[in-house]
A and B are shown apart, each in its own frame.
Chain A
Amino acid sequence: MSSSGLSNVKQIKDTLDVITGVVLLLISLVLAFYLVPNYIGEPSILQNPMMSPRWLPNIVSWLILAFSVLLILQGILVSSDTENDERKIVKGPYRRFIIMLIAFLVYVLLFETLGAILTGILATVLLFLAHPVRVWWAYGFALAFPVGVTLLFVNVMNVPLPLMPY
């Protein structure tokens, strides 16, 4: 990168706001020019254009576009409070995060095939291992809670959760 390019980046006061603004700008452009015209049906005869199913989505898309430009400008001109910035986190090990993603997948992919109890136990044990729970008796919760909560939903609240595999 050239030195002038680097100084331009340095001039941006809040890079995250600029990135957020650009992403939202792109979303609004896709909405206004592709999704709203192609994925919202409009009746052939309309008494008033404001009655159209496309009217509000259109307005909202253009407003998102306008405000994302404002957000980009805000990011370029106004710096954020770096000391008290709640947006920043100190990242932990990736292994923990990946196991959490696997637990999420266990729930969405196996919930109906394995049933609520087994997926609940499997995902809970995975998460206990991710952020290691070293107290052995705590693993009893991983068994007791999915059973207890499933039975509560099914028998007390009459909400039919899938109970057993298949």
Chain B
Amino acid sequence: MENLTEVLQLFLSIDNFIAIALGVVIGVTVGSIPGLTATMAVALALPFTFSMQPVAAILLLVGIYKGGMYGGSITAILIRTPGSPASACTLLDGYPMAQQGNAKKALKAALFSSVIADFISNIALIFFAAYLAKIALNFGAPEFFWLICFSLTIIISLASGSMVKGLLAALLGILLSLVGLDSVFGSQRLTFGNYNLMDSISFIPLLIGLFAIPEIIEFYRKKAIPHIKAKASGVGMTLAELKRCMKSIVRGSLIGVIIGAIPGTGATAAAFISYSDARRRSPNKANFGKGEVEGVAAAEAGNNGVAGATLIPLLSLGIPGDVITAIILGAFMVHGLTPGPIMFQENLSLIYALFLGIMFSSLILLVVGNAAIKYFSLIADIPKSILFPIVLMFCVYGAYAVNNMTFDIWLMLAFGVVGYLFNRTGIPAAPFLIGFILGPMFEDNLRRSLLISNGDMSIFVRGPITWFFIAITFGSIAFAIFRFFKDRNAKLISN
């Protein structure tokens, strides 16, 4: 009862409600502007949370995440430009519906399925995060060491595109995370005598540089594309149509939850699996790909079912499942909090206040999403030539705000160039960021294990939990190798 009062005290603050609403509005707005991504918005919003209370700060970022996921589907449906990779599946049926004059119906289907999936995902988060954290309380340094190994391998093995490039990106991220003073011996590592690097590379300039600056560079580097105008025409979704899609929405949400809870898998896989599952089971399977409302609903359910579930490994184990949860992890750290099983013991009220806020964000998404359908053209018609200079200004101010140093602006621009080169060479940025976050955790748990055991390596195979993690780590490596050869053979055959 005492805890409940504390939770309500933490949650029932006007700041939290404003943060959620503002977050969802920013997310939907940014998501519905082609070329801007939810990741970019979350990265840019992070410096604004410095002076906020932890609950409001995290809820703002979660709101942007959720809004961005829905916002991405608006452009996918109306102008065949997915706002996020996960929305690529939505356009398979959404865009043909828009061409047939049923854009509004597709957008409503996307919104309703997004909200329902988001709600189911949140429920899963509330139930499973606490349960998993309870199990994780039995983990020591060797168990966490293997858990981090598993997370790294699965993030790389499931990275889109080339596995070799995913691995290289993660290794580069780990390497950069080691710059600074060594945590045990205090010796300098790759600082080159620069005192700005002694305290390691700042997370926020790296983040903004990697996810916002490349888009700006690309915009000024490439040939201008004519602006496409679109309107949400037609009638909305009927109750009968929603009922018809309900089974696919629930199944898609559960697929999203399962996939989202595994670090590294992501919303894109969930959207496509949910879509193909719905197509397989639907009596209208022949209509899929030609403008089937159930296809839009299934894709969006899979996509949004991931949102709450990706927070399960983050909150219970302290392991980020994707780029956005990695940024949210950064926000926790900025506020002096470390997600993981210990947080469930020491800050339980804060976690439950967050859960309440996350549940409330689904409701806000419904309201804001409806308004976005109405006013989409107002948002999407802002020319990027006006938008990007303002985005750059936010980037610079945000990077400088971390330590009040021009060095951080340099750092941000340097990582912007790195991010641009990544895009041009096909190296994925997500494993790089996750490597940067997991690198120090990996080293810290390795050293702690060795210190505990006095250098005895058998500590790494000390019991069933470590055996389990070793098995799934090697399983994930085997899967990655299998996928590599399968993709290579498929390419050779197609050539």
Chain A interfacial positions (CB closer than 8 Å to B): 16-17, 20, 24, 31, 35, 39-43, 47-48, 50-51, 53, 56-57, 60-61, 63-64, 67-68, 70-71, 74, 78-80, 86-87, 89-92, 96-97, 99-100, 103-104, 107-108, 111-112, 116, 120, 123-124, 127-128, 130-133, 138, 141-142, 145-146, 149-150, 153, 156-161
Contact = CB atoms under 8 A, between A and B. Distances in A.
Contact of A24 (B168, B216, B406, B488): B168
Contacts of A39: 188-192
Please name the 4 residue pairs, one residue from A and one from B, whose CB atoms are nearest each other, closest first.
Answer: A41-B187, A127-B389, A100-B220, A53-B182
Most chain B CB within 10 A, of A47, A63, A127, A133, is at A127
Contacts of A156: 51
Interface residues of B, number: 69
Contacts of B392: 103, 107, 123-124, 127
Nearest to B435: A60
Contact of A87 (B167, B188, B423): B423
Contacts of A145: 390, 393
B187 A42 contact: yes
B426 A157 contact: no
A108 B172 contact: no
Interface in B440-460: 442-443, 446-447, 450-451, 454-455
Contacts of B141: none
Interface stretch (B256-264, B306-314, B340-348, B395-403): B395-403
A141 B425 CA distance: 35
A60 B171 contact: yes
B378 interface: no
A42 B184 CA distance: 11
Interface of B: 47-48, 50-51, 162, 164-165, 167-168, 171-172, 174-175, 178, 182, 184-185, 187-192, 216-224, 383-386, 388-390, 392-394, 396-397, 400-401, 404, 406, 409-410, 413, 423-427, 439, 442-443, 446-447, 450-451, 454-455, 488, 491-492, 495
A82 to B, nearest CB: 11
Given A31-B175, A153-B401, A146 B425 contact: no
B188 A41 contact: yes
Contacts of A107: 392, 396, 409, 413
Given A39-B188, A57-B178, 19 more contacts: A17-B162, A39-B190, A41-B185, A41-B187, A42-B185, A51-B447, A70-B164, A90-B222, A91-B222, A92-B221, A92-B223, A97-B220, A107-B413, A108-B413, A111-B409, A157-B401, A159-B47, A159-B51, A161-B400
A77 to B, nearest CB: 8
B164 A91 contact: no
Contacts of B167: 63, 67
